[in-house]
Structure 1
């Protein structure tokens, strides 16, 4: 590794002059501190090229530099900024000697006075308290330096973005103490594998970052692979339980084409998630020509939009009617509807098909579901005139949310508070989710049923063992999947499927709702079959739910 590479990457401002006082080197930190460009000052006398003066107003000539070096320690400097204001800096001078020991020049170490006096405290503030590694703020500052260096030189650097695989599982099952100790153990393992000059940071949660200076993509990927193997060899034991640990690493090269830190971080995020998708415990190098990465990039842009919408409360609910059929139309006076979520983006309402895939892929459904449930409770509290038997609202719950005990407790607590009659709400769970999480779903149903809440089995007919599980699930409604409903006037197989689902549901004491009803012919056929309810655009498009206005 060339010495110039090391010097250029230092955060300490450094300037070199020869024995005659001519500037022959200054690093990027010195350029930033002195607000100058090395092209304009190299080869010029220090005393005239830069407005630096001693505390007594003396120019920095070789004789004074030699005197300061002999005295040792730091001294104050004064300099004039481009706005004419005087600033104070600290200076430490070291003599550079030739092969024969004779003085050949001087190294000047510079810092703003404020920086010098608070350097130790700043370092402590930047340390992560759990791992004692440098934190995200210093990491981002360092990336900015590397991006600038790559843009002005032929050097390339690399970022390794590291995430502990299935950390949440260990944290949730064994407790936060286990999670904290795992983070510390992984940090120590990574530190032990890195070489001098490689920089390790904890970025937050279970994420780490490594910055490699002056490497190409091959060297960066080799380092990442070495780290993955080292973590796999770890033996992490907590409460006498041994856990297998692995990490996924996204690798991004920082070169002359890198525009900014935000681009580097976004690419690293995509590369890391690709490593996870490929099986975890892997390394993935970001490639701008990779179409799959481009697709993932688009989805992760949606992740940022979703998080922003959650933080700014930019979701809303719309109301789609569920209409009674046949005898139910005369006997059932209850207005039943499904509440659906929409995302507000740049003045438009986005349908779930635009943002839900990314939310499902990156685990954001529990946050969206929580927003929906809270919004429904807020709406019902704001409209006390809405009474059970007169209205009922269906609310969807995703499979990701059902797997979160904290989410289920959140729903249960809201129902128990007594501010809202639980029988006003019908929770919809898809058939696939119900079968996949059978024990969790049945337990949740039991608890909610005890309070008076209702359930509907959504998209029924798409699962593998539909009828076998139907008698085991204590649902109140069965929603027949629109795949079978929409063309029963033309497809006799689909007509037979709808008829059999309806008949068996009724035998089991469950009411049926046909989805995707878009024509009067289909509506009439469903009524003739004895299906209880119809839902679809035939009855109108979803309309906004307005607080304080009832239905």
Structure 2
């Protein structure tokens, strides 16, 4: 209609009501592209006045880039005005509004006509309509973006219609279906089993269903179902959460392991937050504190963990605050008591460590309490056992020597006099041989009671070994001491020992020595007491002898110097013989030969002399170092000369005296022999008695460490008989602990000995040492130490000592253990 109006009425080029009522913007252009008319709608859209538009080129309305683009178009509507273009062609353009904002418009050619003027000149006009397409274009782009989102999304997306038929699935979903296939109902196998119900529920209730988990062949997916009501569709969006599930499973397993570990360990574990409030207690913490977890959580930790110094009974150091301040772990150095909720106390050790979040910031602390009550009781028991004789309950030789040393110092500082006595029982060997060890032990216990009854309060009494006792009479002049000791001797003489049908008179020989400010050292005092005791025996027994300066010469005449001469001659004439005794494993799988080298001496008539006869004199007169060197040299030579046997040797143990430990010349002799005789040094283990080791602990420790650098191992012999402190053992870098045979031989019948062996073995195990039991004389003893857990056995019940040359025969025989 508009076109017909324009063609029939040229006056409409300037104004016509139809132009202003038209819903779209209208522009009338002449042949040159000049705007000759514009309707009100176009003015309102663009924001210009009529005068600002009419008479201007259409090009001036186009924004720069769009204008250039329009000129480049070959069939541009605005360049081809006047040509016969198809009606209603739409051109995408950008107009510049008066406020400078670009307006996205669709421009369409709606009319085209020719005007004839009186001058017969023909004018060409074009009517263009345009409308704002910004919203539509934005929606189209959004739809394109959404379509692209679905296409490129790595997560599966699928759409269903009302009949639960697949309407759309993106490439990720197609790939997933290819992997997992369809279920029996024809649905993708990765979807929930009730997918049809979910689709119906979404559409009926206009409800989005979220977080529906599905597990398929070890893979986990999380589905959300969203209704699209305007299209009667349901879109399902899936997310592969397999990694998250695996991480959750690993985290759960780790947490479970952590909790099971905390529930199982024997330490109390308590966690606190930054406000020092309890957040967790493991079962051991509940046991030690007396607080249930439900009652303790949220309480101040000071209320739950009440610690105080074991010595001062004052509150312990608050290392928790130190950990919070310094953010590093700390341990309590002091001995602590933990107060149980019921009122009793427990000995504990405390450590506190910071607890951190994933960003390393501190979020609290972990308090660990280790119950050391049993360990302290064991250490107290060991210290008692280390200083006391297990049979009589008296202090032992080592502790006696400590007390004697203190008495000597006391005399020098306070100018007072004490007395030392030394008792050796007469006829004890007869009772032991006639009635057995149990009778001998019973006798020793009864003699102990007699002595304790007769001594004054404050006097010291000790069992020095075997049937020997020693004592110190505090603040007692020698004449008064002689009266007291004589009374002891008479009381023992009057005592009759009864065992079954046997009756025995015992008797005692007692040596007495004065301790005063002139006394030099305990070794001299003990030697003097021993000499006096020997003199009492020599004078007829059952008497007291007060030390006289010529007693030592008398004892010397009784034979020690004779032994020294005989020993030196035997060394020159090579009249020593190497023996060995097998050491057999009990519970470990040791292969090869493990044995101890023993020594015998041949007299002038080639009769064997046991070491108990000549070694005491050798040690007393320092000939024992020469014997040690002979044993080392000849043992090394034998191992070197018998390589086939040496290959099967696991460990060869050689005894050393305490004299050799501090002798640098002996160390040199040892290293030179290792160089001379070629075999592996790790086949050698050196033994030294506990008593010898602790007499000069630093020297012994230096010697042991030096020997071990060569590759040898080390064993502490006769452990238990001279034990003076658990601390000594911790200072020696040893490998084997040889339990004193005095405890082993009666282990089956004597519960005290059994307890002692068990304690020593436990100490060895705790310190990582292998234990060896001596004096294993029969199968019963072997079974007893096996139950205790001793590692090795040695004794007549395993194999008797025999010449080293017989070892070749042993290789052909099965092991006894």
What is the TM-score when the length of structure 1 is the normalising length?
A: 0.45
Work out which structure has the larger RCO, using CA pairs closer than 8 Å and 6 or more positions apart in sequence.
1
What is the TM-score when the length of structure 2 is the normalising length?
A: 0.31
Task: State which structure, 1 or 2, has the greater radius of gyration over its C-alpha atoms.
Answer: 2
